[in-house]
Amino acid sequence: MSNDNSLLEYSEIVMKMFNSEDEGFEFYNDYAYEKRFGVRKDYCEWDSGHNEKTLRKFVCSCEGFRAEKHLTREIKMRRSRNITRCGCPAKLVIAQDQNTEQWYVKDFIDEHNHPMIEPDLSCFLRSHRRISDEQKAEIVLLQISGIRKHQIMDIMLKRYGGYDRVGFTSRDLYNFLHRSKLQTLSPGDAQTLINYMIVQKRRDPDFSFQYKRDGRGHLTGVLWYDFESQMDYRAFGDVVVFDGTYKTNKYNLPLVPFVGVNHHKSTVLFACGVVAHEDTESYVWLLRSFSDAMSQKHPVSVITDGDLAMQKAISIVWLNSSHRLCGWHIENNIVSNIKDAKVKEGIRCFLYDRCSIEEIERKWMEFLKKNEVTDKDSWLYQMYERRQVWCAAYHASKRYLGLRSNQRSESLHSRIQFNLDRKMSLVELLQHFDNTVQKLRIREANLDCCVLERWTMGAKRGFPPTRKSTMYDYSDSVQRYHELHNISQMTSFAASQSLEAYERLKRVLEEEAAMILPNRGEGEGGGKRFGPVLTQGGLDDYAESYNVLDPIRVPGRGAPKKKMKSSSDKSNKKCTLCKDQGHNRRTCYLRDEVS
């Protein structure tokens, strides 16, 4: 009976006809999945006159042998992989009929010289691992939402019920996201960022940005903001806090958000910038661009860290603004620069003492004399020279809305750091930063809804609501996918509660799938999109933006942790067995003798 079934199956296969080579491969791959082996494409023949394929050979993944030279080579630069080929003769050869243009089975061998794998392991064979289009769309959506790659894999496994049902492995997911990133950034990271912002401005005229380049065309600074940020600044822009000490991209460029506090005592974002150099010139450009964006309204007070270049830029651009250094940074510097407990307590008093200026000057003289501070290069004397920007007495009559440190900027950075890392591109930085801003604005909307008006400050009462749900622009096909996904999710859950509803919905879906799936094309615009549209055509009006090159990675400030070796000082690694260069102990020819 078994032989009869095999003969019947064999006769059905050799009589098969296919409309294309891909259809033939899909058939053989599905057949291999049921029989628990993998396949791959092998030899093909071409019609030189029409430049078309006329024959294709599909073989078992165990077909052939590893080349002898890879087995006998004494010095191996790479570690040898496991041998998986054993000369399996199984194959399917299809050829094209020139008259009907259909593909027929020319040769079929279903004999293997190796055991088949276990049924639950077929999903790990290469030909059976594939990320479907709907899975790609969901993966991209999860990634731009700030979810890590390994967490995305966990979500997909839970949703589909295991590796045998999800259809791909973690490595496949990582490779897909890497290829997607390369495709997105093919014009260049900086160019893609500028194109993205141009598209956003076309979609939302209230969105604006400014950028600058150096003499060679490399991006050196960019500032972006939307209409809601401008309205927030008009309402709450009396006190501005910004900090440029965080590097959250692969170029080591500082991210500089301009933040403040709103009528709910919550953090609010006014704008965000990235600069290539932490010098006075870069910060002057950033502050002037920010002032231009906010109709030349300068803040009453500014709180920053102790950066001297930033302090000088503020004195140049915002002449009439009160500038105060962050109290938290001062506290940290006191701990790291002073060891004596009494001296620490003495200088800490200047940070919080709100006495008169005459009184604080007298106390300073007594403090310097008592501790014998005469060296002008010492940290204590330098803090004395800068006392007007951090001592509380000099700011007692000024308005800071209860802020003493840049904790608002720190809190924003703590939220950003959860989703960002130092390997991110500028486009990824903008995407994930927008997620953080949306969360801040959702929190404000929640407070506007839930907090009684009698307990709310009225600073923003005269401004219209301007909240937007998202800054992402999706293609029409992806938007339709989102709508269908939401409807199907609700319907599927409701139908799963009843056997009758489940069978009815399943029957309808199977009928529709049989009609739609064979006819699905490449989507709109000549290719499939699985996430936001980062770049679009029609940028001829912005031709000057085409010359924006990626920023040059800048080294961090301060002394390096270790002395960098020059290329001449670096020595090649040596094998610990034979002491020769070019390989390691694992690939050494003496390994067998030692073992």
- DSSP for 528-595, please give it: ---SB----S--GGGGGGGGPBPPPPPPPSS--SSPPPPTTT----B-TTT--BSS-GGG-TTHHHH-
Residues with Cβ within 8 Å of residue 268, at least 6 apart in sequence:
232, 236, 259, 260, 261, 262, 440, 444
In this structure, what token pair is assigned to residue 380? Answer: 């204590």
CATH of domain 220-326+405-468: 3.30.420.10
**Cβ atoms of 207 and 226 closer than 8 Å:** yes
Looking at this protein, which amino acid is placed at residue 516? I
User: Does the pTM exceed 0.75?
Assistant: no
Tens place of pLDDT per residue across the chain (595 aa): 456 667 788 888 989 999 999 999 999 999 999 999 999 999 999 887 778 889 999 999 999 898 877 777 777 677 777 888 899 999 999 999 988 889 999 999 999 999 998 888 888 899 999 998 888 888 988 888 778 899 999 999 998 888 888 989 999 999 999 998 888 888 888 988 898 888 888 877 888 899 999 888 899 999 999 888 888 899 888 889 887 766 667 788 888 889 888 877 778 889 999 998 888 999 999 999 999 999 999 999 998 887 888 989 999 999 999 988 888 888 888 888 888 888 888 888 888 888 888 998 999 999 998 888 888 889 889 889 988 888 988 888 787 777 766 555 555 555 555 556 667 888 888 877 777 777 777 777 777 676 555 445 555 555 555 555 454 555 566 677 778 878 888 888 888 888 999 899 989 888 888 888 766 554 444 456 565 544 434 444 444 445 788 888 766 665 555 555 554 444 567 788 887 877 777 778 777 666 5
Domain range annotation of the chain: 2-127, 133-184, 220-326+405-468, 327-398
Nearest to 549 by CA among 185, 178, 179, 180: 185
How far apart, in whole angstroms, are the C-alpha atoms of residue 113 and residue 37?
Answer: 12
